Structure 1
Amino acid sequence: MFRQSRRTIHVLRDQPTPSLERLSKRARLLPSSPIELETSSSSRILSFPPSHALSSWSAPPRTLLLVQKPDDSRVRSTMESVLSHLTTRYPHLRLIVEPHTARDHPEFHDLTVVEKEDRALLGLHTELILTLGGDGTVLHVSNLFGQGECPPVLCFSMGSLGFLLPFHIDSLAEALHTTLTGPVPVLNRMRLACTPVSASGEVLDRCSDMIVGDAGWQVMNEVTLHRGGQRPLVVVDAYFDGQHLTEAVADGLLLSTPTGSTAYSLAAGGPISHPETDAFLLTPIAPRSLSFRTVILPGRGVVKLQVSDRSRAPAELLVDGREICMLHSGESVIIAKSPFPIPCIERSEGGNSWVRDINSLLQFNVGFRNKSLAPGGSGD
Structure 2
Amino acid sequence: MIKKKGVPAVTESLIQYARHIQSEYSDVSLIFEPDAASEVESSLNFTIYTSSDYADLPAKVDMTTTLGGDGTILHASSLFSTTLHVPPILSFSMGTLGFLGEWKFDEHKRAFREVYMSGAEAGTPFYQDQKHPHVQASDGSTIEPSVTGWSSVRGKSMGPNRSSKVLLRNRLKVGVYDAAGERLDGHDTPQNADGDVHAMNEVIIHRGKEAHLAIIEVFVGGRFLTEAVADGMIISTPTGSTAYSLSSGGSIIHPLVSSLMLTPICPRSLSFRPLVLPANTPITLRLSEKNRGRELEVSIDGRRRSRGVGVGMEVRVCGEEITKGGDWGGGVPCVMRGAKSGVEEDDGWVGGLNGLLKFNYPFGEE
Provide TM-score, normalisation by structure 1.
Answer: 0.76
Match of 1:347 among 332, 337, 360: 337
**Partner of 2:30: helix, strand, or coil?**
strand
Match of 2:356 among 335, 355, 361: 361
Q: Match of 1:333?
A: 315
Q: Return the structure number with greater strand share.
A: 1
How far apart, in 2, do the equivalents of 1:225 and 1:80 lie? 39
Q: Match of 1:25?
A: none
**Partner of 1:75: helix, strand, or coil?**
helix
Q: Match of 2:326?
A: none
Taking a change above 3 Å as real, the CA distance of residues 175 and 227 of structure 1, as seen in their structure-2 partners, is same
Unaligned runs of 5+ in 1: 1-65, 372-380
Alpha-carbon contact 1:147-1:212 (below 8 Å) kept: no
Residue 54 of structure 2 is aligned to residue 114 of structure 1: no
Residues 132-211 of structure 1: matches in 2 within 5 Å?
132-148=67-83, 149-158=85-94, 160-182=96-118, 183=153, 184-205=164-185, 208-210=187-189
Residues 282-297 of structure 1: matches in 2 within 5 Å?
282-297=262-277
Match of 1:104 among 36, 39, 45: 39
Alpha-carbon distance, 1:362 to partner = 1.2
Alpha-carbon contact 2:296-2:310 (below 8 Å) kept: yes
How far apart, in 2, do the equivalents of 1:220 and 1:319 lie? 9
Alpha-carbon distance, 1:230 to partner = 3.8
Q: Which amino acid aligns with 1:274?
A: H
How far apart, in 1, do the equivalents of 2:214 and 2:252 lie? 26
How far apart, in 1, do the equivalents of 2:245 and 2:237 lie? 9
How far apart, in 2, do the equivalents of 1:330 and 1:363 lie? 42
Alpha-carbon distance, 1:208 to partner = 3.1
Alpha-carbon contact 2:70-2:95 (below 8 Å) kept: no
Provide TM-score, normalisation by structure 2.
Answer: 0.79
Alpha-carbon distance, 1:222 to partner = 0.7
Alpha-carbon contact 1:192-1:218 (below 8 Å) kept: yes
Alpha-carbon distance, 1:159 to partner = 7.3
Alpha-carbon contact 1:215-1:338 (below 8 Å) kept: no
Q: Match of 2:283?
A: 303
Residues 231-250 of structure 1: matches in 2 within 5 Å?
231-250=211-230
What is the percentage of aligned positions where both structures have the same residue? 38
Q: Which amino acid aligns with 1:282?
A: L
Aligned length: 303
Unaligned runs of 5+ in 2: 119-152, 154-163, 322-329, 340-344
Alpha-carbon distance, 1:213 to partner = 5.8
How far apart, in 2, do the equivalents of 1:103 and 1:151 lie? 24
**Partner of 1:193: helix, strand, or coil?**
strand
Q: Which has the greater radius of gyration? A: 1
Alpha-carbon distance, 1:280 to partner = 1.0
Taking a change above 3 Å as real, the CA distance of residues 159 and 208 of structure 1, as seen in their structure-2 partners, is closer
How far apart, in 1, do the equivalents of 2:308 and 2:198 lie? 19
Residue 74 of structure 2 is aligned to residue 128 of structure 1: no
Greater relative contact order structure (CA < 8 Å, 6+ sep): 2
Deviations 1:195-234 (A, max 9, x none): 10012210124x5324966750011111111000143111
**Partner of 1:150: helix, strand, or coil?**
coil
How far apart, in 2, do the equivalents of 1:301 and 1:332 lie? 16
Alpha-carbon distance, 1:366 to partner = 2.7
Q: Match of 2:235?
A: 255
Taking a change above 3 Å as real, the CA distance of residues 100 and 214 of structure 1, as seen in their structure-2 partners, is closer
Q: Match of 1:323?
A: 304
Deviations 1:164-201 (A, max 9, x none): 11100001111110111122311111111101001221
Q: Match of 2:16?
A: 81
How far apart, in 1, do the equivalents of 2:277 and 2:4 lie? 34
Alpha-carbon distance, 1:160 to partner = 4.7
How far apart, in 2, do the equivalents of 1:89 and 1:244 lie? 58
**Partner of 1:201: helix, strand, or coil?**
coil
Q: Which amino acid aligns with 1:132?
A: L
